[in-house]
Structure 1
Amino acid sequence: MAAGLSQVQAAELMGYSLQAESRGGVQCRTWQALESATDDRNMQGAIFAMFLLLTDQHPEFGLIERRSSETNPA
Structure 2
Amino acid sequence: LFVQKQQQKSAILTQRQQCINLVKNGMTRDMYPQLSLAVEIFLRAPISTATVERDFSTMNRILTDLRNRLTTE
- The one of the two structures with greater contact order (alpha-carbon pairs below 8 A, sep at least 6) is 2
Q: Which has the higher strand share?
A: 1
TM-score (norm: length of structure 2): 0.28
Question: How does the TM-score come out when normalised to structure 1?
Answer: 0.27
Choose 1 or 2 for highest CA Rg.
2
